Structure 1
């Protein structure tokens, strides 16, 4: 059953809202919040997982507590946008743990990356040693974040 064919009702949407906000809810607590008993609530959650609507569950880790003091957004332009070159860049990025997100863009920039680093020196080493030196990279523009004004997981569930 694909996500496109799965018909969400109000209870499914309520389940998604609660799990997005607090993924560690027990099934009993979730069931109470959405007005169900535990067994049908669990069936619905499993159906949402099987349909590919719920992809997984993750801890929201405090980067600063693990000494990742900076977050940088890097805008990467490639020399070639041939599909093989795009895939090769994506494969290279997939093996770089400091890159937490990679999005291909439409326009002047080919990719935007979200990168975490312990400090500016380690970011600079990563930038020159792993990113700008990667095959097919034409240039990289970076912006260091000052603060995050909004950071929400997932998507709005209407």
Structure 2
């Protein structure tokens, strides 16, 4: 990946709706080679998709909860099962496999404390092999950055 590819990625992260002409102007490349590079970046998997940024609060999901999960006896099978089931839960926006005292960190969105309680009682605690769950509620978001610092 050269400097032009990095610049293309930077510009598309800032505005994924740029036309090829606008993008080519910003990266100082003619339109045809610019489009070839974008297609190559997509083919290589560096660009995985294009999406709209949606306001979480305005969609009625103002609550962010960070949930630490510890599995009882992590085995290859129990890890695969947990990860599959978490992948099926719409409220779980992100799931990270962790080092340290807990096995996973989840970011869960919710419309209310009551709906989060429902999620815990009816979904998360129903999973097998859980040893512990710890929830931390975010008061607010200090920083949200969607552009990777590609250098």
Q: TM-score, normalised by structure 2?
A: 0.97
Secondary structure of the structure 2 residue equivalent to 1:45: helix
- Structure 2: stretches of 5+ with no match in the other structure: none
Q: How many positions carry a matched residue from both structures?
A: 151
What's 1:3 paired with?
none
Q: Deviations over 1:8-66 (max 9, x none)?
A: 11111100111111111111111110001111111000000111111111211111111
Cα displacement (A) at 1:155: 2.2
What's 2:84 paired with?
91
Q: Deviations over 1:56-93 (max 9, x none)?
A: 11211111111001011100000011011001000110
- Structure 1: stretches of 5+ with no match in the other structure: 1-7
- 1: CA distance between counterparts of 2:52 and 2:76? 34
- 1: CA distance between counterparts of 2:84 and 2:14? 31
What's 1:157 paired with?
150
What's 2:103 paired with?
110
What's 1:61 paired with?
54
Cα displacement (A) at 1:143: 0.6
Cα displacement (A) at 1:154: 4.5
Cα displacement (A) at 1:133: 2.4
- 2: CA distance between counterparts of 1:83 and 1:123? 29
For the 8 Å contact 1:74–1:141, the answer to whether it is kept is yes
Q: TM-score, normalised by structure 1?
A: 0.92
For the 8 Å contact 1:132–1:139, the answer to whether it is kept is no
**Residue 38 of structure 2 corresponds to residue 38 of structure 1:** no
- 1: CA distance between counterparts of 2:84 and 2:93? 14
